[in-house]
Amino acid sequence: MEIKLGFGQIPKSQYIFVNRESDYCWYMLSEDKRQIPIYDKALTGVITGIEVNKKVETSFGEAEKTDLSILADKPYIIRSGSDSYFSKSLLLSLDALTFEQLRKPITITVSPGERTIVFCAIYDPENYRAIDVNWDGHKELNWQALGEKVSLKINHLHHSSQKHTEISERLTIAQLREIMMVKIDTYLAELGWTKEEGKQYLQQKYGKRSRHHLTETELLDFMMVIFETLYTQAIASPKAS
């Protein structure tokens, strides 16, 4: 994102609100609270965070909203009603994305439904393909649980990447590798993988039999893959409360 010198707007996130009007589905607000229509139907950027079921004061009283933070030409926050079709289709699409896809730019689109309904779809801008989601049984779906799952997934990924960057700035490569090695040992122990299973995975994905032969990028990728596997297992088999 290019930094422009001189006078300009206050450097803060721009809120995007979702609402179906006659010829557009989302808009911004001017300083005097007038709607500024956005006629484009797609926004491409990197997701940096999400807040679900966030309580917000509106002109109609308190309401629950979903705020999705995305970095494009500038930081944006897409705000929609937690119970809206947009939020629900957004959560289904985000849940279907892998950790690898979430680290890359994605395209969020809006499309009008009947009356006031707005749907969301997510595309991979590299291959122009939409992320497939399944609406079967959506009426019985626990949307609060899905929101918490997606929030954990996205916010942990962003926090881990940010923390990795901060650590990288003050540690040597050797120290950074040692930290990742310890993390990997912890994740592998929780997964119950044997040393041989780990070696087989390394051979299949990276063509190497030992973690010590991986580059820093490969080691970070391996750590995130293990975490994703651990995360998926935890979601599939939640511990009894």
Q: What is the pLDDT of residues 114-157, one digit of tens each?
A: 888 999 999 999 998 999 887 777 777 888 888 888 887 787 76
Q: What is the pLDDT of residues 24-40, one digit of tens each?
A: 999 999 888 899 999 99
Average pLDDT taken over every residue of the chain:
84
What's residue 87's pLDDT?
95
Q: What is the pLDDT of residues 3-21, one digit of tens each?
A: 778 887 788 899 999 999 8
Q: What is the pLDDT of residues 218-237, one digit of tens each?
A: 888 888 888 878 777 766 66
**pLDDT higher than threshold 80 for residue 196:** yes
3-state secondary structure the chain: CCCCCCCCCCCCCEEEEECCCCCCCEEEECCCCCEEEECCCEEEEEEEEEEEEEEEEECCEEEEEEEEEEECCCEEEEEEECCCHHHHHHHHHHHHCCHHHHCCCEEEEEEECCCCCEEEEEEECCCCEECCCCCCCHHHCCHHHHHHHHHHHHHHHHHHHHHHHHHHHHCCHHHHHHHHHHHHHHHHHHHCCCHHHHHHHHHHHHCCCCHHHCCHHHHHHHHHHHHHHHHHHHHHCCCCC
What's residue 17's pLDDT?
96
Beta-ladder partners of 60: none
pTM: 0.67
What's residue 240's pLDDT?
41
d(Cα 129, Cα 123) in Å, to the nearest integer?
5
What's residue 147's pLDDT?
86
